[in-house]
């Protein structure tokens, strides 16, 4: 039984609901990148109701394009939407917005569903400079690796209780079918 404070994402598969708690998605991913899992979870919390305001999205119809190459985000999207195995998940560095700065420029996610596109990007203030520096360190020392591990856990714990729209901004576009 999920903990009442554990947020839930609901999707459909062939019209039948499937609920994913944050903990279940994190368990699927493992322990390497809990912050990436939290970021993807927030993106899905924000985007899914915009992609279909009347019902949960059909999980195998969601397409994700992102500039963010993190394994935690990839695994979270895979667990919930099966987009990686379905060939509907692409890391596209050209989606990055470097003019927004190193702290948020890669955290861009485009989710498509039927005739809708939600473009989401991280709001400033959710990534620390120390986190970015350590995450981009090619050969971290044991101390640096441990510090980054702790920062990832802290970030996930900090993001999880926040409203998705306070972490990410979103823009909905209606496309032609």
Question: What is the model's pLDDT at position 155?
Answer: 96
Residues with Cβ within 8 Å of residue 27, at least 6 apart in sequence = none
Closest CA to 72 of 120, 31, 103: 31
Which pLDDT band holds residue 3 (cuts at 50, 70, 90)? Answer: low
pLDDT in tens, 8-24: 999 999 999 999 999 99
Q: Does the pLDDT value for residue 5 go beyond 90?
A: no
What pLDDT score was predicted for residue 102? 79
What is the biggest distance separating any 2 CA atoms in the chain, rounded to whole angstroms?
52
Domains, the chain, ordered by start: 8-174 (3.30.1330.130)
pLDDT at position 135 over 70: yes
Q: Are 25 and 80 in contact (CB under 8 A)?
A: yes
Spatial distance between the Cα atoms of 66 and 50, rounded to a whole number of angstroms: 18
CB count in 10 Å sphere of residue 74: 22
Q: In what order do the strands lie in the sheet with 116-122?
A: 89-91, 63-66, 108-113, 116-122, 168-174
Question: Would you state the pLDDT for residue 134?
Answer: 94
pLDDT digits (tens, 9 = 90+) for 120-129: 999 999 998 9
Residues in the chain: 177
pLDDT digits (tens, 9 = 90+) for 40-83: 999 999 999 999 999 999 999 999 999 999 999 999 999 999 99
User: Would you call 153 exposed, middle or buried from its count of C-beta atoms within 10 A (0-12, 13-18, 19+)?
Assistant: middle
């Amino acid at each position: 039984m999920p903990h009442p404070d554990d947020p839930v994402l609901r999707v459909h598969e062939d019209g039948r609901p499937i609920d994913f708690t944050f903990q279940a998605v994190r368990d699927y991913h493992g322990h390497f990148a809990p912050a990436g899992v939290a970021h993807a979870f927030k993106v899905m919390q924000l985007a899914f109701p915009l992609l279909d305001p009347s019902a949960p999205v059909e999980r195998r119809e969601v397409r994700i394009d992102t500039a963010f190459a993190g394994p935690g985000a990839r695994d979270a999207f895979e667990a919930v939407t099966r987009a990686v195995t379905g060939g509907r998940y692409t890391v596209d560095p050209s989606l990055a917005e470097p003019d927004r700065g190193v702290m948020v420029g890669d955290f861009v996610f485009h989710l498509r569903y039927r005739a809708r596109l939600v473009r989401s990007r991280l709001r400033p203030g959710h990534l620390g400079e120390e986190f970015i520096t350590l995450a981009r360190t090619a050969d971290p020392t044991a101390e640096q690796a441990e510090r980054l591990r702790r920062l990832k856990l802290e970030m996930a714990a900090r993001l999880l209780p926040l409203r998705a729209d306070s972490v990410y901004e979103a823009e909905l576009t209606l496309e032609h079918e």
